[in-house]
């Protein structure tokens, strides 16, 4: 502690005694004038001493922090001396707030509060029955169709497509709007990519757009939006764009996987096999090709290899969609 | 109030009969502890002073001075109390904890400076007959009280309620010791004791706040940058002014008041019964804190988290209904418990009055004051729920009418004669509480719509 702090504090105490002494004056005006003069000076000096002792971070902004201490000293004559000694100790020992201890919580509370459980209103199979059975009340069938629109799986799209021929106006309209919306979404994205290819001169960017186009056309096939005649055209487009992308992105294994899946659809099993193997060779994670390779072995009637390929990738059984297939091949069902 | 809410929930989760009693005990201690300690201490201080002082008038002057100091400082800081509470709550919601300390100290400094310049001329001009020292002590006590009321804003958010109650206990114990030691020296010594106790309380509470809210700055005035709601500034004023309006009218109406010191007057008829009636709402305050700050606050948090974080519609509806149910349970329980207390006090009032050596003449006024304070508790609970639901406009209107009605009906009750004293305050509370229930009911009916469409 510097000598100036002691000096300021000592002088302040003397001035404070002077302020109390001033109250002994005979006239009220002299009492007031004397008290406030001495007390203001005493407050300023003790505020200075306290301010000097403050931890560095609390000294800013200088004017305000000094003013606050002065105000407290001014309105609490005498008591501020004791108060500020305690304060200094508190400020110097202040620590960051510790995190709250972990409290036990009721399991049921957590479920109710935080975990949003997606309840199934129908099982998938009954959903199909509700959608297809025309004798059921329209209200129930509409509800089933609405749920189908949320699923967005190839199976649900097929069911919605069947709704296009439904005798019920509302279901036909709903199905049409859903299919129309899906087609619109895809065609807008396709249009964007085509215009990007036309505009850009960067070969790599063009190739990436081709790859994306192959994926978008593949989406048509995957969710079953394309009808049989249109499907032929779509498959040609996938091949065309995938090959264009491959010209530039020679080491992109995902283009090879797309081409492999195309060959599978065309039942060109050997080419598909080569393409999947090549994809793994140039860097695709093996598990990405496992379902397709298993399919190829199945077509080739190499059933032992199907079982082997699944047993080589035990983690795949945790995929809820693959689990029933793997369980079957492992003879667990 | 989050701090105490967590603590009470923790006690209640023990699921034992004793833990319910314990929760009510803590709740009573936190909600009315400091208030009961201060009222009882001032009473005892008066009794102690009476033993020493030949002039009983000095004791009355001391008690009236304290009442005025508390009333005027509460009304003076009322512009800040609610709006600044909301400012702090918003910073806590934004997780800007480091903003709390500098702004709180800024607000304390701001109120102290303006408080000093507001009260000093008042003390000098209107109470000059008591001398310069009295005026200075009056001014300094008022300024310290202003600081305490502002510090009080964040106290309920801290979990250290044991320390808070201990601070109040120690400070008032100091007042008692000083009154016992120096009381015989007269009014200035009594007032200096009161000031010393409150200076100690200020330092203890502010010290706790500084320790609990670390920051990299000591003072800031961010709260003045348009971040406080204007409606809350006036709501705070209307509420505090309304709560004191009937008392001031009784103190200054020539038919009901008497001169005490300088400008200060009291009402011998009105003061004692209302003061005792306020003591009677301590159990209701405990229920209010426990039910509103734990049950309702928890359901409120669940509902708004569900709405904010995109839970299913079914879950949002379920949480909303649970929140409404919690509000209803809280209000019914407050009425139920406080009614039992009121009825018991009405039944046993005669023996209690005889035991305390108080004239039975006060009884009719005491009965209506009991009803009035119970209604005030109910009205306070309604306002608390409305604040949770962010119905600033409704609260603004209700508190404004509370002020207007309390002023108007209290004047009318005085004109109608002694049998109607206290009815003005009670009736104004009955009207605003009924209106409050109607508005809250409407709000709950449109809860989901307002939550989603008006945000």
List of residues 6+ apart from A182 with CB closer than 8 A: A157, A223, A225
Q: What is the DSSP letter of A102?
A: P
What distance in Å separates residue B197's CA from the closest CA in chain A?
Answer: 10
Q: Give the relative orientation of helices B392-416 and B230-252 as an angle to the nearest 10 degrees.
A: 10
Chain A residues touching residue B209 (CB < 8 angstroms): none
Nearest-angstrom CA–CA distance, A302 and B76: 90
Choosing among A58, A66, A91, A104, which should be mutated to test the B contact, i.e. which has the most B CBs within 10 A? A58
**pLDDT over 90, % of chain A:** 20
pLDDT of residue A161: 83
Our CA-based measurement puts residue B37 at a distance from the nearest CA of chain A, in whole angstroms, of 22
The closest of B76, B61, B80 to B119, measured between CA atoms, is B76
Pairs across A and B, CB distance < 8 A = 96
Report pLDDT for A117: 47
What pLDDT was estimated at residue A157? 84
pLDDT tens-digit series, residues A4-18: 778 888 888 889 888
Greatest pairwise CA separation for chain B in angstroms: 74
Per DSSP, the three-state class of B261 is strand
Whether A57 has its CB under 8 Å from any CB of chain B: the answer is: yes
> By CA distance, what is A106's nearest residue in B?
B13
**What is the pLDDT at residue B2?**
46
Burial of A101 (0-12, 13-18, 19+ CB in 10 A): exposed
pLDDT in tens, B172-193: 889 889 988 888 888 899 899 9
**What is the model's pLDDT at position B315?**
80
Is residue A274's pLDDT more than 70?
Answer: yes
String of b and e for B315-350 (b: at least 16 CB within 10 Å)?
bbebbbebbbebbeebbebbbebbeebbeebeeebe
Q: Please enumerate in sequence order all residues whose Cβ is within 8 A of that of A294, keeping only pairs 6 or more positions apart, or say none.
A: A306, A309, A310
Map residue A205 onto helix, strand or coil: helix
pLDDT in tens, B341-351: 999 999 999 99
> B116 CB near a chain A CB, below 8 Å?
yes
The beta-carbon neighbor of B207 closest among A58, A74, A87 is: A87
**Chain A residues lying within 8 Å of B13, measured CB to CB:** 104, 106
ipTM beyond cut 0.85:
no
For the CA atoms of A228, A231, A235, A237, what is the dihedral angle to 10 degrees?
Answer: 150
Contact B212 A59 (CB under 8 A): no
Give the lowest-confidence range in A89-103, B50-64, B89-103, B401-415: A89-103
* CB distance A103 to B9 below 8 Å: no
pLDDT score, position B428: 97
The confidence score (pLDDT) of residue B7 equals: 62
Phi/psi of residue B260, each to 5°? Answer: -115, -60
Cβ <8 Å between B217 and A91: no
Q: Which residues pair with B266 in a beta bridge?
A: B258
For residue B441, the number of C-alpha atoms closer than 13 Å in the C-beta half-sphere is 6
Task: Report the C-alpha gap between B178 and B48 in whole angstroms.
Answer: 11
Match 């509800």 to its residue by tokens: A143
Consecutive H or E run containing B162: helix B161-182
Contact B35/A at CB under 8 A: no
CA closest to B132 among chain A residues: A28
CA distance linking residue B194 with residue B151, whole number of Å: 18
Write the residue in A60, A72, A82 that is nearest to B217 by C-beta: A60
Is residue B308 within 8 angstroms of chain A, CB to CB? no
**CA A228 to CA A230: how far, in whole Å?**
6
DSSP 8-state class, residue A202: -
Q: How many Cβ atoms sit within 10 Å of the Cβ of residue A186?
A: 16
Check if A85 contacts B (Cβ < 8 Å).
Answer: no
| Nearest chain B CA: its distance from A56 CA (Å) | 9
Could you tell me if B204 and B73 are in contact, meaning their C-beta atoms sit under 8 angstroms apart? no
Contact A260, A276 (CB under 8 A): yes
A chain contacts of residue B200, beta-carbon cutoff 8 Å: 79, 83
> For B271-310, how does the pLDDT look when each residue is reduced to its tens digit (9 = 90+)?
888 888 888 888 888 888 788 877 888 888 888 888 777 7
| pLDDT tens readout for residues B81-111 | 888 888 888 888 788 888 888 999 999 999 9
Give the torsion sign (CA, A259, A260, A265, A270): positive
pLDDT for A113: 47
CB contacts of A68 in chain B (<8 Å) are 105-106, 108-109, 218-219
Q: Return the residue of A nearest to B134 by Cα.
A: A23
Strands (E) across chain A are located at none
Give which of B115, B199, B209, B221 to mutate to test A binding, by max A Cβ within 10 Å.
B199
Q: Do B202 and A76 touch (CB under 8 A)?
A: yes
Instruction: Return the minimum-mean-pLDDT range out of A203-212, B14-23, B154-163, B435-444.
Output: B14-23
Cα-Cα-Cα-Cα dihedral of B224, B226, B232, B233, to 10°?
40
The predicted pLDDT at position A10 comes to 84
Side-chain half-sphere CA neighbours of B32 within 13 A? 19
Q: Does B211 reach chain A within 8 Å, measured CB to CB?
A: yes
- Which of B10, B108, B216 lies at the smallest CB-CB distance from A57? B216
Residue A111 has pLDDT above 60, yes or no: no
B438 has pLDDT over 90: yes
- Long-range pairs of B64-69 with CB within 8 A, sequence gap ≥ 24: B64/B260, B64/B261, B64/B264, B64/B265, B64/B266, B65/B138, B65/B187, B65/B191, B65/B261, B65/B264, B66/B42, B66/B194, B67/B266, B67/B271, B68/B264, B69/B138, B69/B141, B69/B142, B69/B145, B69/B194
User: CA A301 → CA A295, A304, A328, A332, B140, distances in Å?
Assistant: 10, 9, 16, 21, 98
Tell whether the model's pLDDT for residue A100 goes beyond 60: no
Question: Does the pLDDT of residue A247 top 60, yes or no?
Answer: yes
Contact B240, B74 (CB under 8 A): yes
Q: Does B299 touch chain A (CB under 8 A)?
A: no
Q: Which residue has the higher pLDDT, B428 or A132?
A: B428
Say which of B10, B13, B311 has its CB closest to residue A116: B311
Q: Give me the mean pLDDT over the B234-260 stretch.
A: 91
Is 50 exceeded by the pLDDT of residue B1? no
User: Could you identify the residue written with the tokens 């129908």?
Assistant: A122
- Output the CA–CA distances (angstroms, integers) from residue B2 to B322, B328, B386, in the order listed: 19, 21, 17
Closest partner CB to B210 (pick from A74, A94, A118): A94
Confidence of residue A169 (pLDDT cuts 50, 70, 90): confident
Contacts of B218 in chain A (CB under 8 A): 54, 58-60, 64-65, 68
At residue B401, the pLDDT reads 96
Averaged pLDDT score across all residues of chain B: 85
Is 90 exceeded by the pLDDT of residue A49? Answer: no
Placement of tokens 């005979």 in the chain: A26
Q: What is the DSSP string of B22-71?
A: HHHHHHHHHHHHHHHHHHHHHHHHHHHHHHH-S-HHHHHHHHHHHHHHHH
> Which string of b and e fits B252-286 if b means at least 16 CB within 10 Å?
ebeebbeebbbebbbbebbbbbbebbbebbbbbbb
Total number of residues shown for chain A: 333
Q: What is the structure's pLDDT at B445?
A: 82
Q: Cβ of A76 and B214 within 8 Å?
A: no
Summarize the confidence of residues A58-75 as an average pLDDT: 87
Report yes or no: B185 at the A interface, CB cutoff 8 Å.
no
């Amino acid at each position: 502690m510097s000598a100036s702090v002691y000096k300021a504090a000592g002088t302040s105490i003397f001035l404070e005694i002077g302020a109390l002494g001033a109250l002994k004056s005979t006239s009220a005006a002299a009492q007031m004038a004397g008290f406030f003069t001495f007390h203001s000076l005493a407050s300023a000096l003790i505020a200075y001493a306290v301010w000097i002792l403050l931890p560095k971070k609390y000294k800013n902004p200088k004017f305000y922090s000094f003013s606050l201490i002065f105000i407290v000293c001014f309105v609490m004559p005498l008591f501020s001396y004791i108060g500020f000694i305690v304060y200094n100790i508190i400020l110097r020992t202040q620590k960051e707030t510790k995190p709250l201890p972990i409290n036990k919580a009721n399991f049921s509370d957590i479920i109710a509060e935080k975990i949003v459980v997606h309840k199934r209103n129908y099982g998938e199979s009954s959903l199909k029955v509700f959608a297809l059975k025309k004798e059921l009340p329209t209200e129930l069938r509409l509800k089933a169709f609405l749920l189908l629109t949320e699923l967005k799986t190839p199976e649900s799209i097929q069911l919605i497509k069947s709704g296009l021929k439904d005798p019920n106006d509302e279901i036909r309209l709903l199905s049409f709007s859903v299919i129309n919306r899906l087609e619109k979404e895809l065609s807008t994205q396709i249009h964007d990519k085509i215009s990007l290819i036309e505009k850009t001169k960067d070969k790599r960017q063009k190739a990436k757009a081709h790859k994306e186009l192959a994926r978008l056309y593949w989406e048509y096939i995957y969710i079953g939006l394309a009808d049989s005649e249109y499907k032929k055209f779509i498959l040609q487009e996938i091949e065309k764009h995938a090959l264009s992308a491959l010209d530039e992105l020679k080491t992109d294994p995902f283009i090879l996987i797309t081409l492999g899946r195309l060959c599978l659809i065309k039942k060109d099993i050997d080419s598909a096999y080569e393409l999947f193997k090549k994809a793994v060779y140039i860097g695709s994670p093996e598990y990405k090709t496992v379902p397709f390779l298993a399919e190829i072995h199945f077509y080739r009637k190499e059933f032992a290899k199907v079982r082997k390929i699944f047993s080589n990738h035990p983690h795949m059984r945790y995929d809820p969609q693959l689990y029933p297939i793997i369980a079957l091949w492992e003879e667990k069902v | 109030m989050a701090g105490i809410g967590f603590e009470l929930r923790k006690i209640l989760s023990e699921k034992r009969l004793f833990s319910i009693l314990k929760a009510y005990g803590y709740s009573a201690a936190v909600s009315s502890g400091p208030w009961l300690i201060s009222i009882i201490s001032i009473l005892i201080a008066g009794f102690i002073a009476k033993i020493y002082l030949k002039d009983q008038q000095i004791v009355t002057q001391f008690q009236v001075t304290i009442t005025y100091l508390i009333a005027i400082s509460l009304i003076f800081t009322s512009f800040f109390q609610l709006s600044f509470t909301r400012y702090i709550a918003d910073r806590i919601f934004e997780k800007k904890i480091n903003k709390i300390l500098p702004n709180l100290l800024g607000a304390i400094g701001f109120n102290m400076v303006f408080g000093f310049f507001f009260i000093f001329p008042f003390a000098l001009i209107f109470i000059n007959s008591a001398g310069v020292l009295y005026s200075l002590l009056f001014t300094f006590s008022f300024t310290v009280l202003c600081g305490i009321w502002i510090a009080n804003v964040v106290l309920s958010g801290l979990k250290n309620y044991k320390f808070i109650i201990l601070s109040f206990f120690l400070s008032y114990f100091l007042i008692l010791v000083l009154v016992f030691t120096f009381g015989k020296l007269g009014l200035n010594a009594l007032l200096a004791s009161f000031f010393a106790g409150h200076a100690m309380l200020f330092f203890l509470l502010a010290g706790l706040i500084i320790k609990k809210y670390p920051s990299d700055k000591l003072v800031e005035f961010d709260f003045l940058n348009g971040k406080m709601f204007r409606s809350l500034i006036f709501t705070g004023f209307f509420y505090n002014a309304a709560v004191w309006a009937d008392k001031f009218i009784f103190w200054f109406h020539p038919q009901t008041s008497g001169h005490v010191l300088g400008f200060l007057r009291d009402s011998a008829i009105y003061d004692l019964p209302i003061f005792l009636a306020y003591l009677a709402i301590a159990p209701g305050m405990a229920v209010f804190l426990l039910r509103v700050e734990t049950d309702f606050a928890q359901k409120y948090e669940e509902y708004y988290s569900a709405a904010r974080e995109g839970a299913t519609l079914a879950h949002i509806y379920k949480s909303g209904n649970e929140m409404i149910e919690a509000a209803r349970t809280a209000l019914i329980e407050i009425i139920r418990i406080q009614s039992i207390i009121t009825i018991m006090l009405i039944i046993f009032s005669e023996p209690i009055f005889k035991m305390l050596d108080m004239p039975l003449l006060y009884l009719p006024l005491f009965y209506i004051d009991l009803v009035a304070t119970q209604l005030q508790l109910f009205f306070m609970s309604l306002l608390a729920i409305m604040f949770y639901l962010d119905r600033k406009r409704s609260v603004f209107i209700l508190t404004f009418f509370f002020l207007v009605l309390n002023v108007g009906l209290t004047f009318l009750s005085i004109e109608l004669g002694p049998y109607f004293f206290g009815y003005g305050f009670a009736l104004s509370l009955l009207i605003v509480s009924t209106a409050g229930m109607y508005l809250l009911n409407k709000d709950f009916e449109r809860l989901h719509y307002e939550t989603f469409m008006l945000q």
